[in-house]
Structures are given as structure tokens and as C-alpha cells.
Structure 1
Amino acid sequence: MSGSQRVLLRTVDVARESGYSVQQVRDLERLGVIPPAARSSNGYRSYTSVHVHALRAYRGLAGAVGPVAARQMLAELRTETIAAAASAISSVHVRLARERDEALRAQQALRAIQDETNTPELEQASDAMTITELAAALDVRPSTLRFWEQEGLVIPERVTSLRARRYGISAIRAARIVAALRGTGYGIPAVREIMGSLHQLDGLGETQRILQQRLDQIATRTVALLRAGADLAAVVTSGQEPIAG
């Protein structure tokens, strides 16, 4: 147990160091974001620096993955091995990187759709994807692609006597844009309207704005996670040692 962990803090001290209010500290303790505070003989709470690190880590993690997922993750990090905890944190970085890559691909698809207005492109059979391949590329379920087809958002071709779905270049581009829009939080009716306007100048401009907004949001979440790095490391390593009372 380190010397810093032996220094006992009052609720007001933790609030000041973490940037939360006294009531928020108590609420977040109740929600399991931080370990339960030790109680003195007179009933007062006693905290340590670990609690401050956990609260700071929660702020960044909540910005990256949302408050519910952040609460669950922090609770798990305190009981995991260092290797398992590091892997969990790395997976968040990987998820954000993948979301960014998909948003960039959607932007590329949008530019290609814009170019098609003047230079139509012939699709090659070798560029086509099956529903399983496209679902894996977008990290969605095949049932999601079937639902998008039912909603008129992404229309594949039907080939062979079994009527198997085949997604050509245009359908793949549309799917990437739909996936990015859905990831931004747009509902199906709004996505349908946007996709219907893609071959209009104003529609292309609005979609580009939305995709750039998506990239900006991912960048903000990534920075929040990076800022939480040192505090997350402190939480992970503190899980190997008992919290002082």
C-alpha cells in the first residue's frame, strides 16, 4: 500500500480534487463508480487518492463510452488482473479507431457518389460482397442489412436461383453511409430522407456535414479517453492492493 493511499480524505477534499460536487461524489459512490468509503467511528466517510483517480477516470471514460458503460467498466477494472484490465481499456481504443475508420470510409463513399453524377462508374463483379462479408466489414449483423433493405436504405442485387443477395459498389457505399448515420444517432426515417437526397447538391452537402460531425464526436471521445489514461492506470494498479480504511 503506497503512502499516497494512506492519506485519508474527506468528501469535500475528494470533490475538490475530482471536480465533482460533494453530492455527486456520494451519488457516484452509491452507483459503484468508486469503492465504498471507509467509515470512522463517528460515521464520517474517509476516502483515499484511489477514489479521486476513479472519479477522474470515470469522467473521461463516460465521455468515451457513455456513463452506463463507464460505470460497469470501472467496477470490473477494480477486480480484474492488470493484463485483463489493460486489455479492456485497449478494446475501447480499438472500438473508437474502428468507428473513425468507418466514418472515413463513409466520407469516401459520399465523394464517390458525388463523382458518379458526372462520371458513372461500372461495377465489377469482383468488387461485390455477400451479405455476410458486408456485415462483417461494417461490424453489424446480417439481419441489420436485411432490415435496411426492407426500409429501402440499401438495396442489393439478387443473383442465382436461390436469390442470394449481392452487394455491388453502389450498395456498399450506401451501406457505409447508412452505418455512419445510424452510429451518429439518426433514426430510420431521418436516414431514409438523407439517403434519398444524396444525388441532390444540398443533400450531399448536408450528409458531408453530418459525417464530419461524426468524426468530430469520435475525436472528442478519443481525447476524453486519452485524458483519463493516467487515472485509469491508477485504478487498475490499485485493484491489486486493498483500499485502506
Structure 2
Amino acid sequence: MVRNLRSGERLRPIDLARGHGLSTQAVRNYEEAGILPAAARTPHGYRAYTPLHAQALRAFLALVPAHGHRTATSIMRAVNEDATEEAFRLIDESHLQLLDDRRTLQAVESALRDLGPGATPEPRPGHPPAAGSGPGSTFIGPLAKKLGIRPATLRKWERAGLVRPRRDPQTGYRVYDEADVRDARLTHQLRRGGYLLEQIAPLIAQVRAAGGLEPLEAALDDWRGRLSARARAMLTGAAELETYLRERG
């Protein structure tokens, strides 16, 4: 529960704003969004914040790089509504997503090892395998299901040149061979890592051309660094939130 104001503890919106490089309107917006607890009012109707509000603001700003703006907002709103279990659930979900992203990164790194020397070469242009003849050949529906995406997403990737399925001469269906499945997996995993299609395209091209995996390795180093930064931000956010919870009492 929010503590009552005590003498000397009143803070103006400008006091909170200046301490964090924000505008006073941003502070008021945070209060209206439930990120900050409701402020008391002076006899003249002005907002009167307290050190508790300052800690709430510190907690929120620390949670944003850890969990994203939307989730951080939901966490603070839940705490201020005394729904701490909901706040903990949101934090747990965010930690699970980070763990899943780490596993995805490991899967990409594993795929890279498979793309090293001795990897299965792509069929030569003009000599496509017969539909379904290759051990890794598949169609759009099964591939989309395996990746957990929609067939429309695979078609979008095809338009962007990230996958190059061939057409069955009899049915006209798209046929994805082993190299296509590899490219689709890499695209999917890099998209999970936050990369745009235009950023992925040159990496896929490098892999296809067997010109070296350095560009993809650099992207993975960046991805790994961002995951580590997010993990550290979670520690900072947790510490600030714990302080806020203690001060709320």
C-alpha cells in the first residue's frame, strides 16, 4: 500500500523528470498508465510525488530493457494494483522467452556447424531433383508446420529470395529440398533473433555461395551479446523492483 506523505518528502513532476532525463508529461503519462501509483494532490490541485514514486520510476526504467516496454508496463501496473503474483508470472514468462531465445541461438550455431566443410552441396542449377526424391524434400505445409509458421510466411520469404523452392512439374506444388529447408531454418532462427529480412538476405547468399560463414558468425556474436545484455538488465530490473516492493510494504 502506498505510504502517506510526510513532511519534506514531496516531489514535483519536474523533480522526477529531471532525475531521469524525462519530460514532465512523460511522468504524468506513466502515472495515468498505472506505471506509477496515483499521486496525492496539494490543496491547489498539484501532483505531489514521494520517494516511493521515484523508486517506482527507477524500477520501470530498469525493467524496460529487460522485458520490453509493454511487459514492463504490465508488471508495474500489476504491482500497483497489489497483484504481485501476476507481476511474477509476467517476469517468469519473460525469463522463459530469454531461455527459448538462447536455445534458438544454440540451434543456429549447430546449423552453422552443419554448414561447414563436408556439408551436403546444393543441387546444380538446371538439375533439380525429382519431386520428393531427395531424403530431405518436403512441401510447404509440412515445412511451415515444422517451423511453427504459416505457409504465407514461407511464400513471403520466397519473394525476398531467402528460400528458393522448385515446382513439381506435374502438380506445380513447391518442393523444398535439403538446402531450402536449411535456408528456411536459418531464416526462421535469425528472425527469432530480431533480424530483418533485408539483413538476413546477404547472410543466406553468403552461405549459398560458400564464400565463408563470417557474416553469419558476426550476426550471431551480436545476437549473443544482446541476449547477455538482456540477462544483465533482468538482474538490474529485479533488484530495482524488489526495492520498490519493499518500500511499498
After superposition, what is the alpha-carbon deviation per residue over 1:174-225, rounded to whole angstroms, capped at 9, x for unaligned?
A: 2232134334554333322221111456551011101110111121112112
Pair 1:134 & 2:136 matched: no
Mark the structure with the bigger radius of gyration. 2
- Larger helix share, 1 or 2: 1
Compute the TM-score of the two structures, normalised by the length of structure 1: 0.71
Aligned length: 233
* Preserved contact between residue 77 and residue 85 of structure 1 (Cα < 8 Å): yes
Pairing of 1:42-191 with structure 2 (within 5 A) = 42-79=44-81, 81-116=83-118, 124=135, 130-136=142-148, 140-155=149-164, 169-191=178-200
Which of 213, 218, 233 is the aligned partner of 1:209? 218
Structure 2 Cα separation of the partners of residues 238 and 178 of structure 1: 46
Identity, % of aligned pairs? 26
Q: Give ranges in structure 2 of 5+ residues lacking alignment.
A: 123-133
State the partner residue of 1:20.
20
Pair 1:197 & 2:209 matched: no
CA-atom RMSD in angstroms: 4.1
Pair 1:232 & 2:245 matched: no
One-letter code aligned to 1:35? P
* Preserved contact between residue 147 and residue 188 of structure 2 (Cα < 8 Å): no
Structure 2 Cα separation of the partners of residues 211 and 94 of structure 1: 20
Structure 1 Cα separation of the partners of residues 102 and 189 of structure 2: 9
One-letter code aligned to 1:30? N
Structure 1 Cα separation of the partners of residues 156 and 200 of structure 2: 13
Higher relative contact order (CA 8 A, sep 6+): 1
Q: Give ranges in structure 1 of 5+ residues lacking alignment.
A: none
Larger displacement relative to structure 2 (70-79 or 187-196): 70-79
TM-superposed deviation, 1:229: 0.9
After superposition, what is the alpha-carbon deviation per residue over 1:77-128, rounded to whole angstroms, capped at 9, x for unaligned?
A: 53373322211111111112212221221122122112345x759x745999
TM-superposed deviation, 1:49: 4.3
